[in-house]
Amino acid sequence: MRKTRSIHLIVAASATMVMAAGMAAIVSTPANAATTLGAAAAESGRYFGAATNSFMLNRQPHATVLNREFNSIVAENEMKWYHTEPNQNQFNFTAGDQLIAHARARGMTVRGHTLVWHAQQPAWAQNLSGTALRNAMINHINRVAGHWRGQIHSWDVVNEAFADGSGGGRRDSNLQRTGNDWIEVAFRTARAADPSAKLCYNDYNTDGVNAKSTGIYNMVRDFKARGVPIDCVGLQSHLGTTLDPTYQQNIQRFADLGVDVQITELDIMQGSNQANMYGQVTRACLAVARCTGITVWGVLDPDSWRTGANPLLFDGNGNKKPAYDAVLNALNAGGNNPPPTTAPPTTGPPPITTPPPSGGGCSASVSLNSWNGGFVATVRVTAGSSAINGWRVRLTVPSGATVTGAWNANRSGNTGAVDFTNVDYNGRVAAGQSTEFGFQATGNGSIPAPSCTAS
Residue, CB closest to ligand G2I: 305
- Peptide bond preceding 114: is omega within 30 degrees of 0, i.e. cis? yes
Determine the straight-line distance between the first and last CA of the chain, rounded to whole angstroms. 71
Member of 305, 342, 411, 453 binding ligand G2I (CB under 6 A):
305
421 lies in the site for ligand G2I, by CB under 6 A? no
* 195 closest CA partner among 257, 152, 136, 254: 152
77 lies in the site for ligand G2I, by CB under 6 A? yes
18 lies in the site for ligand G2I, by CB under 6 A? no
* Catalytic-residue membership of 69: no
* Catalytic-residue membership of 265: yes
CA pair distance 319, 317, nearest whole angstrom: 6
* Least gap, CB of 109 to ligand G2I (angstroms): 19
Name the strand (E) or helix (H) holding 442.
strand 434-442
- The residues in 318-377 that bind ligand G2I, with binding defined as CB under 6 A, are none
76 lies in the site for ligand G2I, by CB under 6 A? yes
Size of the site for ligand G2I (CB under 6 A): 9
345: left (phi over 0), alpha (psi -120 to 50) or beta: beta
* 363 closest CA partner among 375, 376, 379: 379
303 lies in the site for ligand G2I, by CB under 6 A? no
Report the residue number, 120 or 131, with the smaller CB distance to ligand G2I: 120
* Least gap, CB of 204 to ligand G2I (angstroms): 6
User: What would you report as the CA-atom Rg of the chain, rounded to the nearest whole angstrom?
Assistant: 24
For the window 159-198, what string marks contact with ligand G2I as x by the rule CB under 6 A? x---------------------------------------
CA pair distance 304, 52, nearest whole angstrom: 10
78 lies in the site for ligand G2I, by CB under 6 A? no
DSSP 19-62: HHHH-SS--SS-TT--SSHHHHHHTTT-EEEEEE-GGGTT-TTH
* Least gap, CB of 74 to ligand G2I (angstroms): 9
SS3 (DSSP) at 257: coil
CA pair distance 87, 81, nearest whole angstrom: 10
* 280 closest CA partner among 248, 304, 258: 248
Report the residue number, 139 or 202, with the smaller CB distance to ligand G2I: 202
120 lies in the site for ligand G2I, by CB under 6 A? yes
Q: Name the catalytic one among 69, 78, 184, 265.
A: 265
For the window 191-220, what string marks contact with ligand G2I as x by the rule CB under 6 A? -------------x----------------
Strand partners, 159: 117, 202
* Least gap, CB of 48 to ligand G2I (angstroms): 18
Member of 236, 248, 365, 422 binding ligand G2I (CB under 6 A):
236
Q: Spell out the long-range contacts of 349-352 with Cβ–Cβ below 8 A and sequence spacing 24 or more.
A: 349/191, 349/192, 349/195, 349/378, 352/378, 352/380
12 lies in the site for ligand G2I, by CB under 6 A? no
449 lies in the site for ligand G2I, by CB under 6 A? no
Name the strand (E) or helix (H) holding 280.
helix 274-286
* Least gap, CB of 404 to ligand G2I (angstroms): 28
* Least gap, CB of 159 to ligand G2I (angstroms): 6
Residues that bind ligand G2I (CB under 6 A): 76-77, 119-120, 159, 204, 236, 265, 305
Could you give the residue numbers annotated as active site?
A: 160, 265
